[in-house]
Structure 1
Amino acid sequence: MNKSKVLAALCIAVNGAFLFAQQKETEQDVEALETVVISDSKFALEREKSGKVITTISQQELERSQGQSVATVLNRVAGIEINGSSSAPGQSLSYFIRGGRNRQVVIRVDGLTVSDPSFITNEFDLRLLAVDNIANIEILKGASSTLYGSGASTAVINITTKKPKDNRINANFQSTIGTNQSQEDQDYDLSEFVNSVGLNGTLHKLTYVVGFSNHFADDLSAAEKLPNDTSDATFKDDAFSRYNVNARVGYTFSEAFKLEVFGSLNEFKNQFDSGAGADAEFDSDSEQMEAGFVATYSYKNGNFVINNRYSLLERTFLADTYATLTDSRFYSYDMYNKYSIDNTFYTVVGVNGSNSDYNGFSAASRNDDFVQTINDNQADFDIIDPYANLVYTSDFGFNINVGARLNIHSEYDNQLVYSINPSYSYTFDNSYIKGLFSYSTAYITPSLFQLYSPNFGNTDLEPEENSTIESGIEFSRNNNLRLSVVYFSRKEKNFVNFVDTGGFVFQYQNVSEDFDTYGLEVEATAKLLDNKLDVSGNFTYTNLDDVQSSVRIPEIKANANIGYQLSSKAYSSLNFQYVDARDDSFFNLNTFSSEDVVLDSYMLFDWYVNYQLLENMKIFAAVTNITNEEYQELFGFGTRGRNAKIGFNLSF
């Protein structure tokens, strides 16, 4: 039998042995399944009254992901494929949700959209964030432009950072050390280190949160040899280093008015390679500085909120044959009034907007002077969106969520998007069964790069238009068992693609034909044996048009987790992931042409255990890819083999 399979079986057996040996231990309180949802309405509603199936990654789950990246955590959610999350830590990420692309996903942090205007598709780089600073993540799938604006076509990822506790001072220290090795290199050298420290508390009317974290990894090359490469060339390691500094201070002036001021500095540096199967010693640096405030005025049955953030972002790529530098600015705000009537009608009326601009520079090599290619006087646009949303919840099970938004764009005509989301919930014996349906439209404006890039830009681009139909059913029993099945179908119009106009001259253009994507998501969670045993799993089927199929999106993907509270002090879990075969393409540096390839399917097993060593100290250990499965997320680029890590969490 293969050694890796033996190791997987051993980890499963250890879990089972603990499970039966420790059943008589005192049960530790386990966080209940979430009972409220916020993302689909901006109100905390009972889950049975929401017309969506929303996934929440709790703080407890995040604590059990210590030392992992935000992308890795998200990659376990139904309908989500974060391509690059299992490769070298500095690998660029692609967000494929329900068959969509980066530009169709909105990422929000503490209630505001985050974005990098210099990226080709405006996305925010999740590599800038640290899991240690996050309290929870809520994922709302489907078109959600009415509440969250342009780009919210396939999903909204709402990230909430940690909040202060009631004590005057609370301190938390976390540290993780481990390996960062490929399938071929199994020497188990310590080469990955993740550390964080945080302080928070409440001093009468003043609250504060400050934190610092860093992540360093080495000993793994981004690219690896192609299958037909018979040379004896070696691939050098590509290091990754990130640090995060954040602070948030709040003051409660009265029972009605509260103000919070925040700021952060996030930066990562990483080495990267030339391309598929091509080693190099290139360097990149990405930095984000941001600041803003949130003001909340509360009154009977409602509150008025002003939330805004200003971000400065800078990225450099230094290679032997080219170099680029971009500096961009992104200002976003959301002003809205929430009002509820007799716990039946919930209304949100507001104005959401943003300003984006950036400068671009290029050079012939890392040693040459930069020349400006994109000017922020031209690469600049504003969005102002008034919106309204209404939720009605009845006492006989019928609920409906409707909304509309007028997108006012400085470069395009006004566009109205809307959504309607009825649902019906039948409640019985602390259980419910819910049927849901939604129809939503979305509007995706081209990015500044797609419009104004000197080599590839096209100022004649039209915005993309999406419409999504979603229907499903959810069953919940005693908050310990939940099953859901959701079907989705999305139509895309004016799809923006990178087109060869002839003679290897490429430009961004709207594709004339419409595209259809549809699929199915199945999710299940259960807590058994007096909440000691938790079992969860999900299955996703995604069908795309042929013209879109070669984008590393699996047709079938499945995740499963089994965890057990071994005792009042110990918990262990085993994770499984299956990813179907995917089409891919790469640029062959030998033939100077693009070639199509197929990436094989793969299965991953991860094992985790923690133990409450002291009242204020928890230790943990983990083994990822315990079967040492060999696979690729991107053709010609390596992934992580079997790796081990240990760490601790100390709090006062």
Structure 2
Amino acid sequence: MNKKRILIAAGLGLVQLTVSQSANAQDSLQLKDVVITATKNDQKQSQTGKVVTIISKEVLERSHGKSLPELISEQAGIIVAGSSSNPGLNKSVFFRGAGSAYAVVLIDGIVQNDPSGNGGAFDLRLLSIDQIDHIEILRGGQSTIYGSDAVAGVINIITKKGGPKGNTIYGVASIGSYETLKGTIGLNGGVDGFTYNVNYTQNKTNGISEAANPVGNNAEFDKDGFRTGALNANFGIKLDKHFSVNPFVRYYYGNYSFDGGAFVDAGNYSILKNVAAGTNAKYEFATGKVTLNYSYESTSNDSHSSFPSFSQGKISIVDVFYNQKLNDKLDLLVGIDNRVMKLSSAATAPKANIFAAYSSLFLHDLSVFNLEVGGRYNKHEQYGENYTYSITPSINIIKEVKLFGTVSTAFKVPTLNMLFGQFGANLDLKPEKSQNYEAGVNFSFADEKFTLRVAGFKRDLKDAIIYAFPAGYVNQVSQKTKGFEVEPAIKFGKFNLNGYYAYVEGNEFNFVDNAIADYLFRRPKNTFGITAGVQATTDLYVSANYRYFGNRTDGNFSTYTVDTLPAYKLLSAYA
């Protein structure tokens, strides 16, 4: 019997308070003129053949009632498992059918990583939407610029910075069901040569039970809520007209409750902490600039359940790159990157170092033609050397039509747990490597009042690392994934309509019966979404979002079978 379910969520945007000395009108830029920083070359979107999505400051300001995983999951080709469920569970990000650790998260252009995890992926719960200015999403392999893990895509989160001269206090407060309370208070401003933005967000909810109460059980299950606090501080120091230094500090604390299974109530909880500090420094001159990014990050997760665990990882990153404008149509990027990762919670505190040198050439606006060509050399102290490359051409056939494509390679290094951990460690592991192909077309008519992007992709991954019981971690299988995305958008006066359809299929190692299967766990072949919004008044924006997720498979570890989960739909309204 087929079961159809529809879930309805309502967001309350409830109280928004801002105290300031001046108001800045948001510039109205067309998408083709938006500058993308994630390519490390400050390109306009019209000058690159990469598939880029910008979540603007305007969209974020309308989304205070959402979490970052919820907002990311509304984008084409991206599944954030558990984005609409209990916040106490990890939010795995699946880009274009790839596994949950094959995408890189950046904060202000700096790679984020958690060496203590099996996948090393950054936890999207660590940032509040209230602390973000805008988000850049690049799909496809980006290892040439960002190294390990950038196999399927990159999410670059740009935090709020600076402010007008003087001091400005700002804040947002919201209240919702299940005793949900959220508040952000911040202070920003500046004087000659110095700017700052310091904000703190507190969030809590009693929530609902994560586990479903089995039929016939009359005992009431407890609620699984959470309590979080997040501090974000950015500073800008202009030493002279050429040289600037921009230090930052971030701290996050989260206490999350979770149950013992789908139908098992439990008083489990985990305490997640993240501390990061570093700086960005730039020296600019007439035809180029030198940029330094340094970051030190420590992440710990203390889980209290019937299987208690504690993990802590630390990573320090130094990334120095040089941009040179060779002429009005040709730019050069050259950089070096060094990362030291440490599993400090392990008895021996193992660590690993990876050094890289990379370079790219950007040819733009040569009549109708643009081209990006890049390469990267990597040296890992454990497995040795590997290389990656990327070739991205695009052609603006006419003003309204652009063809684009990419051929690239990408890689993912074995994590510290895979190399040195307690269970199945293997010092002979090689990096996972992928060959990526992408092609598509972008239409834009009536001054971008109507846009349509269609993109297809294919990814072949070899030397995939799996846990093969009882041997442990091994490089064993190849995985193939392909699909396409369709993204239309319409703007008509005060009305906006955005949608997407994404299809993905592939094979991967099945961790239930230890075999390669012709389907992807937790990733439906078909997803569809549409968002409609209207600027009802100057201060009121009303929107509705509908999303469809098709059938997907997952492992049932009670019966050790592969189960097909039914399709589901989500409908949300926001004001």
Please, what TM-score do these two structures have when normalized by structure 1? Answer: 0.81
The answer as to 2:451 corresponding to 1:482 is yes
Larger radius of gyration: 1
2:37 and 2:43 in contact (8 A); partners too: no
The answer as to 2:392 corresponding to 1:392 is no
Question: Aligned to 2:492, which of 528, 538, 548?
Answer: 528
Structural mapping, 1:261-280, within 5 Å: 261-280=247-266
The answer as to 2:462 corresponding to 1:497 is no
Question: Aligned to 1:214, which of 202, 208, 212?
Answer: 202
Structure 1 residue identity aligned to 2:454: V
Question: Aligned to 1:411, which of 375, 382, 388?
Answer: 382
Deviation at 1:390, TM superposition (A): 0.8
Aligned length, in residue pairs: 547
In 2, the alpha carbon distance for the partners of 1:393 and 1:31 equals: 24
Cα root mean square deviation, aligned: 2.1
Tell me what 1:563 maps to.
Answer: 533
Question: Aligned to 1:346, which of 331, 335, 346?
Answer: 331
Q: Quickly say closer, same or farther: Cα 1:140–1:6, change in 2 above 3 A.
A: closer
Q: Quickly say closer, same or farther: Cα 1:100–1:467, change in 2 above 3 A.
A: same
Tell me what 2:238 maps to.
Answer: 252
In 1, the alpha carbon distance for the partners of 2:202 and 2:518 equals: 38
- Give the match's secondary structure for 1:460: coil
Q: Quickly say closer, same or farther: Cα 1:569–1:247, change in 2 above 3 A.
A: closer
- Give the match's secondary structure for 1:218: strand
Q: Quickly say closer, same or farther: Cα 1:342–1:7, change in 2 above 3 A.
A: closer
Tell me what 1:150 maps to.
Answer: 148
Deviation at 1:30, TM superposition (A): 8.7
In 1, the alpha carbon distance for the partners of 2:202 and 2:336 equals: 36
- Give the match's secondary structure for 2:343: strand
1:165 and 1:200 in contact (8 A); partners too: yes
In 1, the alpha carbon distance for the partners of 2:312 and 2:298 equals: 7
Deviation at 1:507, TM superposition (A): 2.3
Q: Quickly say closer, same or farther: Cα 1:598–1:6, change in 2 above 3 A.
A: closer
- Give the match's secondary structure for 2:218: coil
Structure 2 residue identity aligned to 1:509: V
Structure 1 residue identity aligned to 2:567: S
Which 10-residue stretch deviates more, 455-464 or 466-475?
Answer: 455-464
1:216-254 CA deviation, whole Å, 9 max, x = no partner? 01131222246xx54334321112111011212221111
Structure 1 residue identity aligned to 2:359: A
In 1, the alpha carbon distance for the partners of 2:347 and 2:394 equals: 48
Deviation at 1:462, TM superposition (A): 2.0
1:259-315 CA deviation, whole Å, 9 max, x = no partner? 111111111111122223222111211111111111110001111011101112221
In 1, the alpha carbon distance for the partners of 2:39 and 2:166 equals: 34
2:207 and 2:226 in contact (8 A); partners too: no
The answer as to 2:38 corresponding to 1:76 is no
Question: Aligned to 2:566, which of 585, 600, 614?
Answer: 600
Question: Aligned to 1:237, which of 220, 223, 247?
Answer: 223
Deviation at 1:82, TM superposition (A): 0.2
Structure 2 residue identity aligned to 1:534: N
1:524 and 1:537 in contact (8 A); partners too: yes
Structure 1 residue identity aligned to 2:275: M
Question: Aligned to 1:469, which of 437, 442, 445?
Answer: 437
The answer as to 2:57 corresponding to 1:59 is yes
Structure 1 residue identity aligned to 2:87: P
Tell me what 1:517 maps to.
Answer: 481
2:55 and 2:135 in contact (8 A); partners too: yes
- Give the match's secondary structure for 2:400: strand
Tell me what 1:200 maps to.
Answer: 188
In 2, the alpha carbon distance for the partners of 1:60 and 1:75 equals: 18
- Give the match's secondary structure for 2:362: strand
Question: Aligned to 1:358, which of 343, 356, 375?
Answer: 343
- Give the match's secondary structure for 2:562: strand
Q: Quickly say closer, same or farther: Cα 1:6–1:463, change in 2 above 3 A.
A: closer
The answer as to 2:442 corresponding to 1:442 is no
Tell me what 1:633 maps to.
Answer: none
2:356 and 2:379 in contact (8 A); partners too: yes
- Give the match's secondary structure for 1:219: strand
Structure 1 residue identity aligned to 2:159: T
1:353-401 CA deviation, whole Å, 9 max, x = no partner? 21100133xxxxxxxxxxxx5421xx21011111001110134111100
Tell me what 1:549 maps to.
Answer: 519
The answer as to 2:350 corresponding to 1:337 is no
Question: Aligned to 1:381, which of 348, 352, 368?
Answer: 352
In 1, the alpha carbon distance for the partners of 2:126 and 2:26 equals: 33
1:312 and 1:329 in contact (8 A); partners too: yes
2:36 and 2:44 in contact (8 A); partners too: no
Please, what TM-score do these two structures have when normalized by structure 2? Answer: 0.91
1:33 and 1:480 in contact (8 A); partners too: no
2:524 and 2:549 in contact (8 A); partners too: yes
Q: Identical aligned pairs, as a percentage? A: 30
1:53 and 1:484 in contact (8 A); partners too: no
- Give the match's secondary structure for 1:414: strand
- Give the match's secondary structure for 1:127: helix
In 2, the alpha carbon distance for the partners of 1:29 and 1:250 equals: 21
- Give the match's secondary structure for 1:231: coil
Unaligned runs of 5+ in 1: 12-27, 181-190, 361-372, 610-652
Deviation at 1:551, TM superposition (A): 1.4
In 2, the alpha carbon distance for the partners of 1:177 and 1:64 equals: 15
Question: Aligned to 2:500, which of 538, 542, 554?
Answer: 538
Deviation at 1:39, TM superposition (A): 4.8
Q: Quickly say closer, same or farther: Cα 1:548–1:456, change in 2 above 3 A.
A: farther
Deviation at 1:511, TM superposition (A): 2.2
- Give the match's secondary structure for 2:523: coil
Structure 2 residue identity aligned to 1:345: L
- Give the match's secondary structure for 2:407: strand
Tell me what 2:545 maps to.
Answer: 575
1:86-122 CA deviation, whole Å, 9 max, x = no partner? 0012121111110111221110001110111000100
Tell me what 1:310 maps to.
Answer: 296
Answer 1 or 2: higher relative contact order, Cα 8 Å, separation at least 6: 1
1:174-206 CA deviation, whole Å, 9 max, x = no partner? 0110014xxxxxxxxxx1111101111121111
Tell me what 1:370 maps to.
Answer: none
- Give the match's secondary structure for 2:282: strand
In 2, the alpha carbon distance for the partners of 1:30 and 1:571 equals: 18
Question: Aligned to 1:456, which of 390, 409, 424?
Answer: 424
Structure 2 residue identity aligned to 1:85: S
Q: Quickly say closer, same or farther: Cα 1:476–1:40, change in 2 above 3 A.
A: farther
Tell me what 1:425 maps to.
Answer: 396
In 1, the alpha carbon distance for the partners of 2:556 and 2:384 equals: 37
Tell me what 1:638 maps to.
Answer: none
Tell me what 1:617 maps to.
Answer: none
In 1, the alpha carbon distance for the partners of 2:537 and 2:183 equals: 27
Unaligned runs of 5+ in 2: 11-24, 508-515
2:505 and 2:520 in contact (8 A); partners too: no
In 1, the alpha carbon distance for the partners of 2:57 and 2:521 equals: 32
Deviation at 1:37, TM superposition (A): 4.0
2:62 and 2:541 in contact (8 A); partners too: no
In 2, the alpha carbon distance for the partners of 1:225 and 1:347 equals: 60
Structure 2 residue identity aligned to 1:172: Y
Deviation at 1:488, TM superposition (A): 0.1
In 1, the alpha carbon distance for the partners of 2:224 and 2:381 equals: 42
- Give the match's secondary structure for 2:425: coil
The answer as to 2:145 corresponding to 1:112 is no
Structure 2 residue identity aligned to 1:210: V
1:327-362 CA deviation, whole Å, 9 max, x = no partner? 2211112100111233311111011121100133xx
1:569-588 CA deviation, whole Å, 9 max, x = no partner? 33211111111111111221
Tell me what 1:325 maps to.
Answer: 310
In 1, the alpha carbon distance for the partners of 2:156 and 2:443 equals: 24
